Amino acid sequence: MSGAEELLIEAGRLAAELDAVDPPTLLDVRWRLVGPPGRDDYTAAHLPGAVFVDLDTALCGPPGPAGRHPLPDPAALQAALRAAGVRAGHPVVVYDGGDGMSAARAWWTLRWAGHRPVRLLHGGLPAWLSAGLPTSTDAPTPAEGDVLVRPGALPVLDAPAAAELAAGDGVLLDVRAAPRYRGEHEPVDPVAGHVPGAVNLPAAEYVSDGRFPAAEALRDRFVVTGVIAGAPVGAYCGSGVAAAQAVLALHLAGRPDAALYVGSWSNWVADPDRPVATGSTPGG
């Protein structure tokens, strides 16, 4: 299997797998930063057999100084995944409303938790609908899963490690929109700007409508930012959701060592003593 085949699944292939005797566990993780909760969308219509899992309460810890979407408590995560029917070693497919961000954070969280066989529906629900495939309003009650959460299977950054990466020989990618990076506009967090030394690569430059370009195109795009073989790389955003999508893109580009700064900017600015850069260059 290629890396893309292991990490992404197209709608037609997923439909065939769902018709199998023992289909993958299907998780609906639709989410919005603001607006109606994803569960409302799930109730209205979802992929047949999908179980809803809430990003905010099941896949992340409670917001606080660690960030708006910190790492979940391993025991709580294990309970939530088991309730959703996730079984040890059994394939999981995650999908969202189409931008791929919450699905990527779900993919990352399961991988971080030691559950490797997880893929993202490429293009999310819109791709499924575009293929003419059916939806359902029936909410299944899955059999209890037996997944074991073993945290630490993917690398993470805390604030000191992120600062060290940005100031050293590696690359820390800030994947927020350019005005937020430059410190001109900050709609969510109390301080505007970026981690000193971080390089801006807005998510729109490597993913479009929840779909990724080919691995070679991704590699070329990341090289422009300084991501080269042998040099460490990490990513952050506002709260670790869009940055998880960047980590997925880096995996597709052949960098499975890419680290996620889970707390991201919401954690960085929780400490007023941490430096903040503004402007269009890494150093401000």
Residue 33: its pLDDT value, please?
A: 84
In a domain, 250, yes or no: yes
Summarised one tens digit per residue, pLDDT across range 99-157 is: 999 999 999 999 999 999 999 999 999 999 999 999 999 999 999 999 999 999 999 99
In a domain, 84, yes or no: yes
Residue 5: its pLDDT value, please?
A: 46
Tell me the pTM. Answer: 0.96
For the cut 90, the answer to whether the pLDDT of residue 243 exceeds it is yes
Q: Which residues contact 219 (CB under 8 A, 6 or more apart)?
A: 253, 254
To the query of whether residue 60 is one of the catalytic residues in this protein, the response is no
d(CA 236, CA 99): 17
DSSP 184: S
In a domain, 137, yes or no: no
How many CB atoms neighbour CB 80 within 10 A?
Answer: 19
In a domain, 278, yes or no: no
Alpha-carbon torsion, ordered 198, 231, 9, 122, to 10 deg: 20
Choose, from 237, 253, 258, 259, the residue flagged as catalytic. Answer: 237
In a domain, 234, yes or no: yes
Supply the range of the domain harboring residue 256: 156-268
In a domain, 279, yes or no: no
In a domain, 141, yes or no: no
Which of 113, 130, 147 terminates a domain? The answer is: 130
d(CA 243, CA 246): 5
Summarised one tens digit per residue, pLDDT across range 20-68 is: 999 999 999 999 887 778 899 999 999 999 999 999 999 999 999 999 9
101 plus 167 within the same structural domain: no
162 plus 63 within the same structural domain: no
Domain count, the chain: 2
For the cut 80, the answer to whether the pLDDT of residue 2 exceeds it is no
Q: What is the CATH number of the domain that holds 95?
A: 3.40.250.10
Residue 255: which of 263, 246, 266, 264 has the closest Cα?
Answer: 246
Alpha-carbon distances, residue 251 vs 156, 248, 255 (angstroms)? 14, 5, 5
